Amino acid sequence: MHDRLAPLYPQHLATLRERADKALALGGFDHLVIAAGMPLRKFLDDQDYPFVASPHFRHWLPLTDAPGSWIVYTPGHKPKLVFLQPKDYWHVVPDAPSGYWVEHFDIVIVRNATDAVAHLPAAGSRRAIIGPEHPLLPGAEANNPPAVLDFLHWYRSYKTPYELELMREASRIGTRAHRAAEQAFREGKSEFDIQLAYLDAARQNDAELPYSNIVCLNEHGAVLHYTHFDRRPPGQSRSFLIDAGASAAGYASDITRTYAAYGHTEFQALVDSMDAAQQGFAAKVRAGQSYPDLHVHAHHVIANVLREHGIIRMSAEAALAGGVTAAFFPHGLGHPIGLQVHDVAGFQQSERGGTIPRPEGHPYLRMTRVLEPGMVVTIEPGLYFIDMLLDELRDQPLASDIHWAKIDFFRPYGGIRIEDDVVCTDGAPENLTRDAFAVS
């Protein structure tokens, strides 16, 4: 992996320096100071939550375990890493930096937070500090100045070749673990044991994953963010929905698959129709495609899937206008992904900030921009049988055009979601997830 990353990293760093130069000039600053951050303390406790380094810090270098460290960049100068390596016998102390990237930084190793802050540009200088408030820094400083953040977030949407290689690796890890999870499902394991199989195959613990895995058997698939993990297997396994990713140097994959148990042919046919629809949406991740328009298009296609399987009897247009498709597909088609699972700038209007609103009637869509080369988005249509939403449909005029007996048949299966991570290029899209499944 390092052999693939080493030749790509210098250009990645050059791109970040160029962006930082422009962001600092725009905001009227001389220095960019980026905090890795510190672990968050649990309320009324003496323990911390697992540490997660700031995405801005991880953007510059592949360090995920560097609490209390800082990056300092001044235009025209080599970037500096102030690396906190404390004297500590209670915890594992981070190893000194090494690898393909260290030659590109001036590295200073310090033993405590006070010494780390002493290596930052002086208080009173024009420094843009990116990170949470710090007890050793004056509260009146220009922390997270909007002009700088808006510019950096806008351009974080366009992934460098180095970033894309890390995202390919995150997809390879994730799909390998998905294979293990499916096998555990086929063996009749519980949600908890499927999760353990996933972690073992990924070789990552819960804190290292980019988000909490969603592992659903049967009707639990109707809970969009189900993270309960039943310890006992159900009496009968009918269906399995897993939404789970992996990390590579802080970059995320976000993958969802739905499986029918052997012999459940009618639900398998519905899964197959949704899989075909999802691949059609992924194929439209092309330069110039409006993401909101693609989301609305997905509602029309899913309405036709519902008609094809005898769940509704109305036209796609009537189903969309009457809120019927929203009851079966109540979330957005996807979101930007990268250093964060729900990456930044999905609604941003330009490098100067601003917001592009969601289309009316689609409050949960997480991206409203037009796709451009270098962007990576998820494509994750869903079709669920959620009691609360279906009960609301019963009182609507269109209820007579819904096959309620068919819905009752599918309720025990929960729902379907299929999700790929897809790169917009100058030509055909690159499907990171399908490519990784092909070799996993």
For the segment 319-355, what is each residue's pLDDT rounded down to a tens digit? 999 999 999 999 999 999 999 999 999 999 999 999 9
pLDDT at residue 139 is higher than 80: no
Yes or no: is domain 2-156 CATH 3.40.350.10? yes
Average pLDDT taken over every residue of the chain: 96
State pLDDT tens for residues 170-197: 999 999 999 999 999 999 999 999 999 9
Looking at residue 140, what is its pLDDT? 62
For residues 424-431, give the mean pLDDT. 98
| 90-94, 372-376, 409-413, range with the lowest pLDDT | 90-94
Q: Do domains 2-156 and 161-439 have the same CATH topology?
A: no
Is there a contact between 367 and 335 (Cβ–Cβ < 8 Å)? yes
HEC string for 251-315: EECCEEEEEECCCCHHHHHHHHHHHHHHHHHHCCCCCCCEHHHHHHHHHHHHHHHHHHCCCECCC
Cα 27 from Cα 150, distance rounded (Å) = 10
CA end-to-end distance (rounded Å), the chain: 16
Predicted confidence (pLDDT) per residue in 221-260, tens digit:
999 999 999 999 999 999 999 999 999 999 999 999 999 9
Task: Report yes or no on whether pTM surpasses 0.85.
Answer: yes
Q: How do strand 80-84 and strand 106-110 relate by DSSP bridges? A: parallel
Taking residues 373-387, report their average pLDDT: 98
Comparing 184 with 124, the larger pLDDT belongs to: 184
- What is the reported pLDDT for 136? 83
Looking up tokens 């070749």 gives 161
Q: What is the pLDDT of residues 33-88, one digit of tens each?
A: 999 999 999 999 999 999 999 999 999 999 999 999 999 999 999 999 999 999 88
pLDDT band at 90 (very low <50, low <70, confident <90, very high): confident
The rounded radius of gyration (Å) of the Cα atoms in the chain is: 24
Return the SS3 of 209: coil
**More reliable by pLDDT, 217 or 92:** 217
CATH class of the 161-439 domain in this structure: alpha beta
Q: List own/partner pairs for 312-317 with CB under 8 A and 24 or more apart.
A: 312/401, 312/402, 312/403, 313/401, 313/402, 313/403, 314/398, 314/401
Spell out the SS3 assignment of 56-121.
Answer: HHHHHCCCCCCCCCEEEECCCCCCEEEEECCCCCCCCCCCCCCCCCHHHCEEEEECCHHHHHHCCC
Residue 53 has which token pair? 């380094």
pLDDT of residue 94: 86
Query: Residues 252-274: what's their mean pLDDT?
Result: 98
Rounded Cα gap, residues 396 and 204, in angstroms: 47
Q: How far apart are CA 242 and CA 89, in angstroms?
A: 39
Instruction: Delimit the domains of the chain by residue range.
Output: 2-156, 161-439
Specify the DSSP element, H or E, that contains 145: none
Report the largest interatomic distance among the alpha carbons of the chain, rounded to a whole angstrom. Answer: 71
Is the predicted pLDDT of residue 141 greater than 80, yes or no?
A: no
| Cα distances (angstroms) measured from residue 212 to each of 36, 66, 208, 306, 363 | 22, 22, 10, 30, 23
